Structures are given as C-alpha cells and as structure tokens.
Homo-oligomer: A and B are copies of this chain.
Amino acid sequence: MEFSSKLLERAVNEMSQLPGIGKRTALRLVLHMLRQPKEQTIALSEALQAMRKDVKFCKSCHNISDVELCEICSNPNRKEHIICVVEDVRDVMAIENTSSFKGLYHVLGGKISPMDGIGPHDLNIETLVAKVKQGTIKELIFALSSTMEGDTTNFYIFKQIQDYKVFTSTIARGISVGDELEYADEITLGRSIVNRIPFETSMKL
C-alpha cells in the first residue's frame, strides 16, 4: 500500500497493530476520523493515553480499577469468603451483569496455555493461593472457559490449594437457556443429564 502522506501512513500502521484490524480496515477508520470534527480524534487519543497511563489494577482481585482497591473488593455488602476465579476483566463484567453473584472476584489475567507460552507464573495464581492460605475463604468458584486451557488452569489451582480447607466448585455446564436440545453437542447434553437439578430448584431461578 502506497500512501500519499507519511502522517496517514503512520496512523494506519499504528492502528493496524490492533488485533483483528488489518491495513484496509485501519485506513477506513483513519479516513473516517478525517471526515469527523478534529475534537473527536483528539478525545479518542487522549482517552486512550489516559487509560493506558493511569489505569490501575485492584491490589486484591487484579480487576481494572481507578483506585487501589476496586469497588467490588471495597464494598462491605459483598461476601468476602466466596471468591469467583475468572480469566479476565470482561468475565467480571459479564457475571456482574447477571446480578447473581455477591461474592468477590479474582482475575487471573488469562489461562495456562503452553501453546501461547503462558505458564502459571504469568498469571495471578500466587496471590490467589496466598489468599486461600490465610484461611478466611470458604468457597472458590472456578468460572473459566470450558476449554482444555480452562480445565488445565482449574486443575493447576486445585492442586495448589487442595490441602487447605476450602470448598471448590465450578460453574454449571449444560444446555443454554433458549437452546434447542437437538442442536446441543453430546458432551454438553451428557453433562447436563448427569448434573440434573431438582425441578423445584429450577423453578426458583
């Protein structure tokens, strides 16, 4: 791609560093910015800089936060003895949206994935184990993706904490609400039968 302007070329090159954005998409976005008021691009770039420079991670749960201890960890109404272990910030937001969990979180920052060069020490596992060792946590809920990497990570953490008195659970795997049974995969369907729940319990949800 030949550019008529170095400034344009630089902007497109930087933009196309982002995942899922190729040179053509980057060019389309950058040309869109040129058609919009100048203030809009400046607001975007300032927001990105401010975020990257000043954003903090909660010292307890590693969630993104503007303060040292995030809103969830510092909320006295949340149950401190239940911790939900998630991969990243998006999962916290997704679970918070359901309003079904009133405990605290622990954000690992990824999952163990040797193929991508991510080992246990690249994740926030040690601080989680340290929390468990203190003895105040009663339950650990594993809410990782239902993939090989997610299962490996669950198992690794489980091994680290199994000698301590903490109940570990994992979120239920089953048929999604609204799904047709005939299109469900065998493993999911099999698990949902094995882990069936009393009908009266399901009516209360």
Contacts and interface: CB of A to CB of B under 8 A. Distances in A.
Interface in A137-190: none
Contacts of A63: 4
Contacts of A53: 38, 42
* From A27, A51, A71, residue with most partner B Cβ within 10 Å: A51
* Most chain B C-beta atoms within 10 Å of own C-beta, residue among A47, A66, A89, A93: A47
A4 B52 contact: no
A47 B64 CA distance: 26
Given A1-B93, A7-B66, A93-B3, A52 B71 contact: no
Interface in A35-60: 38, 40-56, 58
Interface stretch (A11-19, A127-135, A193-201): A11-19
Contact of A71 (B4, B25, B28): B4
A161 B39 CA distance: 38
Contacts of A71: 4
A32 B51 contact: no
Contacts of A30: 48, 51
A156 B75 CA distance: 65
Given A45-B46, A52-B42, A4 B34 contact: no
23 contacts: A4-B64, A4-B71, A4-B89, A5-B56, A5-B66, A7-B50, A7-B54, A7-B66, A10-B51, A11-B50, A14-B44, A17-B44, A18-B29, A18-B32, A20-B28, A38-B52, A41-B48, A41-B49, A41-B52, A42-B49, A44-B45, A45-B45, A45-B48
